[in-house]
Amino acid sequence: MLKTYSHLNILLVLAILVVAPPALAEWDNPADIPVIEPVSVGLAGEQPADIVRYLMAEGATAAAPSPDGRQVAFRWAVSGEPQLWVVDATGGWPLQLTFGTAITFFSWSPAGGQLLIGRDMQGNEQEGYYLLSADGRHEHSVLPLSDAFRQFGAFSADGKRILYASTERNGRDFDIYVADVATGKPSLVYEGSFGFYPVAWQPGGNLVIVTETRGEDGNDVHLLDINSGEMKPLFQPEISASFSDFQWLPDGNGFYLASNVDHEYTGLAFYSLADGVLRFIETPDHDIENPRLSGDGRYLSWTTNEDGYSVLHALDRSTDKPMKTPTLPAGIYTTGFADSAPVLSILVNGVSTPGDVYTWNLNTGAVNQPVHSSLAGLNTGQFVAPKSLRFKARDGVELQGLLYQPDPGIYPGKRPLVVQVHGGPTGQSRPGFSNTTQYLVNKGIAVFAVNVRGSTGFGKTYARLDNQEKRLDSVRDLVDTVEFLSSDITLDTSRAAVMGGSYGGYMVNAVLGAYPGVFSAGVSIVGVSDWVRALQEASPALKASDRIEYGDIREEKWLEFYSENSPINNAGKINVPLLVAHGANDPRDPVTESDRIVDEVRNNGFEVTYLRFPDEGHGFRKRTNRVAFNRAVADFLESNLGTDQPEAAR
């Protein structure tokens, strides 16, 4: 694929979109809206390479085999926005199916030959659903765009109906609907409160597995009879637990799943409808992810999360023996079985692999790579793999992170540092491909991707160490991180910046104000500044989980807590350069969260670079906007941390 798509590398100039007038009316500083600037990608082989080349290094971000296993559909943003492509499962020239507005998700119809896709309006996450033929020539609207938030659930076995959750009844609660694919006519099956989501439809039956949100890392599970509308609870543990990746047996008499109920880590389990018992099959000392069952029920596969890296496992259920799995690049795996063929797709995202897709035929053992990510002329030999480091916070809690260090032969001496904070908070920094990280490291800036308390991947207890009143403990972890890294003779923590997006953006806002003097600069992306307003104005899906993760903002106790402990209260103490970026259509963390902290810091006389994108939401999809954002971040960090000339250039 690199060779096939080398013609894309002749694109020497990218442009940033002109600002849309509506956003100007909402914000009184036009200088904060990105404007047109031609950006050169530089020459292939030039060192250090331009940031734009790193942004053009990309691959699939989602993949799934067709029901017969002969094709793979994948989402790829090589054209500038995430679009849908298909390719022969054994390789070949891919076909682009969608154009224009980016897609948000896709799912093969079990009937074959068609895919359901989602689109929203410039990142507002209010999706419409469309049925598209696998050759891209026929498309019709199933559910048009609306003011409602929707969450796709599943197809019926014959592909004629879909299940989904929607807030269309009252704008807050997710109810469950069935819609006819041909006509788009919806039928309300169950009225929910907060977050009820259909996730797996019993093969040939009328039972649907429904999850009910119980915090960011927990959910209850129910069985819904879509004919009668009767909901039967299955799992409602006293201590909330996670249940995911439900895989029905072909006869519909039970299902496999991943869960950490009564366990510290997520294990592989099976639930039988006949006896109503949940039995654990694998319970390692790390999380199990991606349980997948082949359509005929013969093969079961899963991955384990081992210090951030995925390890693939497979079982032949006909012999009850483990199978030898293919050798794959190190990284993070996402898998999926074809409905009626023993073909497993494996999406690999690793340090030097932006998104390759492999197919494995478990009957024949054949392995193919139909999707090759583009590296935009970059030399993978210069990509840096991280070192996993563990250390103690001041209260004894063990923290972990991934350290990416510049080549000491090229950049000798102590290096400036960026502490990268993931979103979530129930997320994990893992060794996947990061354009920005690899660019910074190759410019001589070290990056430490930290997993503060509240991160996933380290057990259920660790993931809940920042809940509710403990929220500020995770902010303090960033200070302890810098203290730990200060003992590394290769790092200069007097030149340290903190950077994060979403919840990570909140962490940036919080630590700069609460602990001035620790960091020299900050980059806050789509972050919260005022928890009271953010929790009150959050999208319905977040409201469903926020009540447990943060506390119910409708209660006086939590209203007072967040009124006192929001970053906006300490904005006057932020005394270092700050870069803030946000999409004006963000439904999760409203853009007003960034507007307000920008105003506060500027009113106190300190520097803020603000990128307020009029055509984005909770993140930046369009390549032109990603170029604008990453160019600004690179210039900001290099300017405020300083970079030395590489040894070869002296």
pLDDT digits (tens, 9 = 90+) for 362-396: 999 999 999 999 998 898 888 999 999 999 999 99
Contacts of 180 (CB under 8 A, 6+ apart): 160, 161
Percent of the chain exceeding pLDDT 90 equals 63
Task: For residue 256, give both structure tokens.
Answer: 């496999």
Query: For residues 648 and 444, is the Cβ–Cβ distance under 8 A?
Result: no
| Residue 273, Ramachandran bin (φ over 0: left; ψ between -120 and 50: alpha; else beta) | alpha
Domain ranges in the chain? 20-36+387-640
Length of the chain: 650
Output the pLDDT for position 556.
Answer: 81
Dist CA 23 CA 14 (whole Å): 22
The residue with greater pLDDT, 318 or 4, is: 318
- Tell me the pLDDT band of 414, cut-offs 50, 70 and 90: very high
The answer to whether residue 264 scores a pLDDT higher than 60 is yes
Output the pLDDT for position 15.
Answer: 29
Percent of the chain exceeding pLDDT 70 equals 92
* Closest C-alpha among 32, 31, 34, 29 to residue 19: 34
**What torsion, rounded to 10 degrees, do the Cα atoms 106, 213, 503, 550 define?**
170
3-state DSSP assignment of residue 193:
coil
Average pLDDT over residues 125-141: 94
The answer to whether residue 13 scores a pLDDT higher than 90 is no
* Closest C-alpha among 209, 151, 264 to residue 545: 151
Average pLDDT over residues 475-494: 95
Of 19-28, 200-209, 405-414, 421-430, give the range with the top mean pLDDT: 200-209
pLDDT digits (tens, 9 = 90+) for 195-245: 899 999 999 899 999 999 887 788 999 999 999 999 999 999 988 899 999
Query: For residues 586 and 617, is the Cβ–Cβ distance under 8 A?
Result: yes
Output the pLDDT for position 12.
Answer: 26
The alpha carbon of 37 is separated from its chain's Cα centroid by a whole number of angstroms, namely 29
* Closest C-alpha among 158, 156, 105, 167 to residue 130: 105
Task: For residue 276, give both structure tokens.
Answer: 């109503």
Query: For residues 489 and 403, is the Cβ–Cβ distance under 8 A?
Result: no
Q: Average model confidence (pLDDT) for the chain? A: 88
Dist CA 255 CA 140 (whole Å): 33
Output the pLDDT for position 193.
Answer: 86
H or E segment to which residue 563 belongs: helix 556-564
- Tell me the pLDDT band of 24, cut-offs 50, 70 and 90: very low
- DSSP secondary structure string for all residues of 449-492: EEE-TT-SSS-HHHHTTTSGGGHHHHHHHHHHHHHHHTT-TTEE
Query: For residues 546 and 468, is the Cβ–Cβ distance under 8 A?
Result: no
pLDDT digits (tens, 9 = 90+) for 486-501: 999 999 999 999 999 8
Dist CA 561 CA 545 (whole Å): 18
Quote the CATH superfamily of domain 20-36+387-640: Alpha/Beta hydrolase fold, catalytic domain (3.40.50.1820)
The answer to whether residue 548 scores a pLDDT higher than 70 is no
- Tell me the pLDDT band of 545, cut-offs 50, 70 and 90: low
* Closest C-alpha among 222, 215, 198 to residue 150: 198
Q: Distance from first CA to last CA of the chain, Å, rounded?
A: 37
Output the pLDDT for position 579.
Answer: 96
User: What does the DSSP 8-state code read for residue 103?
Assistant: P
Query: Is 575 exposed, middle or buried (CB count within 10 Å of its CB: 0-12, 13-18, 19+)?
Result: middle
Contacts of 235 (CB under 8 A, 6+ apart): 220, 221, 241, 243, 259, 261, 278
The answer to whether residue 561 scores a pLDDT higher than 90 is no
- At residue 362, what is the residue type? L
**Cα radius of gyration rounded to whole Å, the chain:** 24
Q: How many alpha carbons lie under 13 Å from residue 30 in its C-beta half-sphere? A: 9
Output the pLDDT for position 263.
Answer: 95
Q: What angle do CA 262, 266, 270 make, to 5 degrees?
A: 80
The answer to whether residue 121 scores a pLDDT higher than 60 is yes
Output the pLDDT for position 134.
Answer: 95
Task: For residue 28, give both structure tokens.
Answer: 């009184």
Dist CA 354 CA 372 (whole Å): 9
pLDDT digits (tens, 9 = 90+) for 589-640: 888 899 999 999 999 889 899 999 888 888 787 778 888 888 889 889 989 9
Output the pLDDT for position 31.
Answer: 84
User: What does the DSSP 8-state code read for residue 648?
Assistant: G
Task: For residue 480, give both structure tokens.
Answer: 């302890």
Indicate yes or no: pTM above 0.85.
yes
Dist CA 431 CA 187 (whole Å): 43
3-state DSSP assignment of residue 365:
coil
The answer to whether residue 404 scores a pLDDT higher than 90 is yes
- Tell me the pLDDT band of 267, cut-offs 50, 70 and 90: very high
Dist CA 57 CA 53 (whole Å): 6
Contacts of 25 (CB under 8 A, 6+ apart): none
Beta bridge partners of 247: 256
Sheet containing 578-583: order of strands: 387-392, 398-404, 446-451, 415-421, 491-501, 521-525, 578-583, 608-613
pLDDT digits (tens, 9 = 90+) for 79-110: 888 999 999 999 999 999 999 899 999 999 99
Output the pLDDT for position 363.
Answer: 97
The residue with greater pLDDT, 282 or 27, is: 282
Task: For residue 192, give both structure tokens.
Answer: 């929910």
pLDDT digits (tens, 9 = 90+) for 175-184: 999 999 999 9
Contacts of 179 (CB under 8 A, 6+ apart): 129, 142, 143, 161, 162, 164, 185, 186, 187
pLDDT digits (tens, 9 = 90+) for 566-578: 888 888 899 999 9
Output the pLDDT for position 321.
Answer: 96
Query: For residues 60 and 357, is the Cβ–Cβ distance under 8 A?
Result: yes
* Closest C-alpha among 448, 435, 486, 368 to residue 620: 435
Dist CA 558 CA 562 (whole Å): 6
Dist CA 102 CA 615 (whole Å): 12
Contacts of 347 (CB under 8 A, 6+ apart): 60, 62, 63, 74, 333, 334, 335, 355, 356, 357
Residue bearing tokens 């296993």: 69
3-state DSSP assignment of residue 115:
strand
* Closest C-alpha among 435, 440, 371 to residue 405: 440
Dist CA 217 CA 331 (whole Å): 23
Average pLDDT over residues 527-542: 75
Query: For residues 378 and 57, is the Cβ–Cβ distance under 8 A?
Result: yes
Average pLDDT over residues 469-498: 93
The answer to whether residue 649 scores a pLDDT higher than 50 is no
- At residue 82, what is the residue type? P
* Closest C-alpha among 247, 358, 243 to residue 293: 247
170-174, 305-309, 491-495: segment of lowest average pLDDT: 170-174
